[in-house]
Amino acid sequence: MAEEIITSTNAETATDHEYNASEIQVLKGLEAVRKRPGMYIGSTGERGLHHLVYEIVDNAIDEALAGYCDHIEVKILKDNIIQVTDNGRGIPVDIQADTGLPAVTVVYTILHAGGKFGGENSGYKVAGGLHGVGASVVNACSEWLTVDVRRDGHEYEQTFRRGDPDGPLKCLGTVAEGVTGTRVTFKPDPEMFKDTTIYNFETLEKRLREESFLNAGVKITLTDERELYTPVLEDGQEGDPCYRTEVMCYEGGIKSFVTYLNEKRNLEVLHPNVIYLARPCQFNTKVPACTKEVWTTARFSQAVIDAEVDALKELAGNRETVLIGFSGGAQVAGLMSVLDKDLKVRKLVTVAGNLDHEAWCRQHKMPMLDGSLSLADFREEYISIPQAHFVGENDAVVNPFLTREFIKDPGRIREVKGASHAKGWDAAFPAIWEEN
């Protein structure tokens, strides 16, 4: 046994018993979350309370990124119960081989379980949530939680209480052909959130609006059903009492956010021709070059870039443009700029941009995009264009290291503190706009 050393510093904390294997505890299931929730949601205060909503919404956003969801509804019900509904594919309900449990039960009861670990062989090619903890953590932090799944022509329901299944998965009946999606309803556990269990509408609205800007074309509806309020109409008269509702859908992505800021701040528009580029083919599915087959390995192919160039020329005409590329849209913007000399690109701006898909695939251990062009082949020409790059400090999807390695010019890179791939950018966008 090691010799005990008692000093004035440790006198109050020193122990008088043995430290051996019997002292080592192994937490099972979701015990770890309930004992140390701050490790998973940041805090058990107001910030952590709202974080529960973001985790469920992020799962719906991943369905949108995969091309299966275009509407997410978030409701604050009476007693501060949260309900999130999407029209995605619905969480799988068939038996998961390793556990012998329905997949939806596994997702909500086992940490690091999800459909986003398998790269090209998984249910998602790109996802904001990569750790498989979001759904189970929300469940662990809830007094009760119910998941309703519609898929394969049926509706299923699974209920939980403080993280544990409250009965088996139930089939509630049939649904109309083509109806799919997931609805998650939960009540935060007051045993864990002792400071407050009251949701702030403005806090949720701000975050969901950010999600809407970053995921162009996805409709997000936020409704507060805790009490009725009386709206003031444009003519100054009072309208009929109703629930407060905000509907957010921005086809222009970051460009729409810039327009929103200009209107909110009553700012003069200095550069009217700013073009936002999302991931290739995300919102151009009607273009022949943009098919789901192309998205897998040929998302940066010559055909895709040509289609994007044609769309840009039609939109911008002969005017100078500032191209703002988000995520894979950054590489699209770069390839467009170096491959078509007729484009009048005044400046390139990237936000959480994937500039080198080969390096990105290696980092995430995913198959290479063999059918795609690589911006790395045109690097010298690319870096000659005026540009600025905004990276998220906590971006696990496109690590800031990848951008720094590709650009090799710290003066062109701005790190946004606290930002991940799809979160924390709302405060940074004004600076991005003013700088460019």
Structure tokens that stand for 39 in this block: 């490790």
Which CA distances in Å does 79 have to 109, 186, 188, 190, 240? 24, 11, 10, 11, 23
Whether 218 shows a pLDDT value over 70: the answer reads yes
Tell me: do 287 and 349 sit in the same domain.
Answer: yes
Domain identity same for 244 and 262: no
Q: Choose one of 248, 281, 297: the last residue of a domain.
A: 248
pLDDT at 282 over 60: no
Q: Is the confidence at residue 232, as pLDDT, over 60?
A: yes
* Any domain includes 4: no
Within a domain: 12: no
pLDDT reading at 279 higher than 80: no
**Alpha-carbon distance 179 to 154, whole Å?**
9
pLDDT score recorded for residue 404: 93
Pairing of strands 345-351, 387-392: parallel
Cα separation of 176 and 357, whole Å? 41
Phi, psi (5° rounding) for residue 252?
-90, 0
Total residues found in the chain within this entry: 436
User: Bigger pLDDT: 55 or 17?
Assistant: 55
Q: What is the span of the domain harbouring residue 388?
A: 254-435
The CATH number of whichever domain residue 135 belongs to comes to: 3.30.565.10
Q: What is the pLDDT of residue 434?
A: 61
Cβ-proximal residues to 234 (8 Å cutoff; 6+ apart), any chain? none
Report how far residue 400's alpha carbon sits from residue 417's, in angstroms, rounded to the nearest whole number. Answer: 12
- Which one of 248, 270, 295 terminates a domain? 248
> What's the rounded Cα separation, in Å, for the pair 417 and 373?
32
Instruction: Please state the φ and ψ torsions of residue 414, each to the nearest 5 degrees.
Output: -120, 120
Of the candidates 207, 226, 227, 181, the one whose C-alpha atom is nearest the C-alpha of residue 86 is 181
Query: Tell me, what's the pLDDT at 119?
Result: 45
Query: Rounded distance, CA 233 to CA 213, Å?
Result: 26
- Both 240 and 297 in a single domain? no
- Quick check: is 181 in a domain? yes
d(CA 214, CA 247): 15
Question: Does residue 18 sit within a domain?
Answer: no
296 in the same domain as 215? no
What's residue 129's pLDDT? 43
Quick check: is 23 in a domain?
A: no
H or E element, residue 260: helix 254-265
Do 210 and 316 fall within a single domain?
no
Query: Which residues have CB under 8 Å from 79's CB, separation 6+?
Result: 187
Give φ, ψ of 34 to 5 degrees: -70, -30
| pLDDT band at residue 302 under the 50/70/90 scheme | confident
230 and 261 belong to one structural domain: no
Domains in the chain, number: 2
- Whether 291 is covered by a domain: the verdict is yes
Q: What is the CA radius of gyration of the chain?
A: 24
- 385, with CB counted inside 10 A (0-12, 13-18, 19+), is middle
The mean pLDDT value for 325-334 works out to 89
pLDDT value, residue 269? 47
Based on the fold, state whether residues 381 and 325 are members of the same structural domain: yes
- Structure-token pair, residue 418: 């606290």
DSSP 198-217: PPPHHHHHHHHHHHHHHSTT
The residue-averaged pLDDT of 251-261 equals 56
On whether residue 5 sits in a domain, the answer given is no
Give residue-wise pLDDT tens across range 409-436: 988 998 988 888 877 776 666 666 565 5
Residues 361, 344 share a domain: yes
φ/ψ of residue 158, rounded to 5: -130, 130
CATH code, domain with 346: 3.40.50.1820
Q: Is residue 17 part of a domain?
A: no
- Stretch 260-267: mean pLDDT, rounded? 53
Residue 204 and residue 280 in one domain: no
Helices 201-214 and 46-65: crossing angle in degrees, nearest 10, is 30
Q: How confident is the model at residue 234 (pLDDT cuts 50, 70, 90)?
A: confident
Q: What is the rounded CA–CA span in Å between residue 379 and residue 407?
A: 9
- 267 and 244 within one domain: no
Pick the closest to residue 226 from 354, 350, 82, 430 (CA basis).
Answer: 82
Considering 216, 248, 280, which residue would you say is the last residue of a domain?
Answer: 248
Q: Are residues 74 and 96 in the same domain?
A: yes
Q: Are residues 349 and 410 in the same domain?
A: yes
Cα four-point dihedral sign 130, 118, 353, 320:
negative
